[in-house]
Amino acid sequence: MDLVLLEKTLLGLFAAIIVAIVVSKLRGKKFKLPPGPIPVPIFGNWLQVGDDLNHRNLTDYAKKFGEIFLLRMGQRNLVVVSSPELAKDVLHTQGVEFGSRTRNVVFDIFTGKGQDMVFTVYGEHWRKMRRIMTVPFFTNKVVQQYRHGWEAEVARVVEDVKKNPESSTNGIVLRRRLQLMMYNNMYRIMFDYRFESEDDPLFNKLKALNGERSRLAQSFEYNYGDFIPILRPFLRGYLKICKEVKERRLQLFKDHFVDERKKLASATSMDSNSLKCAIDHILEAQQKGEINEDNVLYIVENINVAAIETTLWSIEWGIAELVNHPQVQRKLRQEIDTVLGPGVQVTEPDTHKLPYLQAVVKETLRLRMAVPLLVPHMNLNEAKLGGYDIPAESKILVNAWWLANNPENWRKPEEFRPERFLEEESKVDANGNDFRYLPFGVGRRSCPGIILALPILAITLGHLVQNFELLPPPGQSKIDTAEKGGQFSLQILKHSTIVLKPRSL
């Protein structure tokens, strides 16, 4: 009898708790949420939408639900904005409110739960990391200090291509040689170090680990476990691989680069006036107690991905578009020859005298934006956006690709036409002065790497066009520009074979 009474008491208590929760919900604050597809319990919209949240799929939803819409992906609220006005609100007007970063189960592993700069929440740690990284990486002084090295690296690319008989006949996968160039560009800045060739064992080990990190992080395969915690056990194998890759990468950074630089610094007794590369500044901040050793390694992790890969993707897209638009290539070559003179190689200062080259770079970044959804933002607290209530800790995506490819905002946006930036869009720059065009974002969490990426892009494309005629392989009229989207990335699906016929200069 006592057991029956106890059972009834527990059932009554359970029912009372359920009723209390329901009443609390009904009496609680009623949100005016953005429109979107109707969610189902537990799974939200995941069963309707799936894992592949690329820029084109989200554009299709914007056409259906409007310039702001909400997807409930399991436990996560995903808000997507697709208008210049709302982009300005998220990135500029309410830059503090939406200034944090949402993370996920994989990026938590690769960034030590936000110990880096890119994926940390908005606050004191981010301000400190941004300040420490600005001086050694993101100033005009850095550009002027290293631009001769960039020019030398692309000159070596030209020389190596000319030595390869396949390049002018059947063609080569140029990306492989450009990848070495980009690693050397950034490792010079970071460590005063360069790799001698594509066969360098350390370069190949580093490239393989970074490539595996990129594949694991950019994949949509793990979204289901990130969105829906009850499915997370199915990700154990995936997350184990991520942890192993993370540990091997950080150990490689430490053993071969960071510790070696520490030894050199102690052996030469460098003072603050003799610091030669970025890691010296960062290690000095560590010695002062501003950051710890893990922060140092996660800064190196950020640069390996954010600076090297994204710029390489943009170079590859730019070359593909020039191959497929020979009239643009001819016009660019004519500008360079006319302004500089035949055979005079493009330098960084020259790029400012070549408006069509600048327009080619801008158009590449518009049509083939390397990070089409920017890096996701997050509001730590409840916020308002576009007249709607945004629940705390919502993931905010700005569809920057659609802002720059919406026919309501651009004339014939599907065309690769650099002339638009010399004609109707002549006042638009990549620095975010127009919220229709945000390849690097804008505001507090914008990509500071713009100051490095733009000159490297211009120098590289300029050198290639003035030294070679860029053509598709024999038997093809164009190269394949099918896209491969990722969590944040827009890459070319197939690394194209390019024929490079040397010009007589």
> Where do the domains of the chain lie, and which CATH numbers do they carry?
31-502 (1.10.630.10)
Structure tokens at 312: 């390489």
d(CA 170, CA 168): 7
**Higher pLDDT among residues 5 and 241, named by residue:** 241
Q: Tally the C-alpha atoms within 13 A of residue 302's C-alpha that lie toward its C-beta.
A: 24
Which among 446, 353, 380, 474 is positioned nearest to 87, based on CA atoms?
446
- Check residue 93 and report its DSSP letter: I
Label the pairing between strands 383-385 and 68-73: unpaired
Residues 244-262 have pLDDT tens digits of: 999 999 999 999 999 999 9
Is the pLDDT at 159 greater than 50? The verdict is: yes
Q: In the structure encoding, which two tokens stand for residue 392, read together?
A: 């705390």
242 among the known binding-site residues? no
Residue 27 pLDDT level (bands cut at 50, 70, 90): very low
Q: CA 168, 355, 135: angle at the middle one, nearest 5?
A: 95
The DSSP H or E segment spanning 502 is strand 499-502
Name which of 155, 183, 160 is nearest 172 in CA terms: 160
Q: CA triplet 111, 72, 306: central angle to 5 degrees? A: 25
Ramachandran class of 123: left when φ > 0, alpha when ψ lies in -120 to 50, beta otherwise: left
108-152 residue pLDDT tens: 999 999 899 998 888 999 999 999 999 999 999 999 999 999 999
What is the β-pairing status of strands 76-81 and 395-398?
parallel
- pLDDT over 60 at 26, yes or no: no
Stated length of the chain: 505
Query: Is pLDDT at 271 greater than 60 in this prediction?
Result: no
Task: Please report the beta strands in 49-147, taking only residues with DSSP state E, as ranges in sequence order.
Answer: 68-73, 76-81
- Note the pTM of the prediction, 2 decimals: 0.91
Q: Rounded to the nearest 5 degrees, what angle is found at the Cα of 142, between the Cα atoms of 298 and 195?
A: 65
Question: Who contacts 1 (Cβ-Cβ below 8 Å, separation ≥6)?
Answer: none
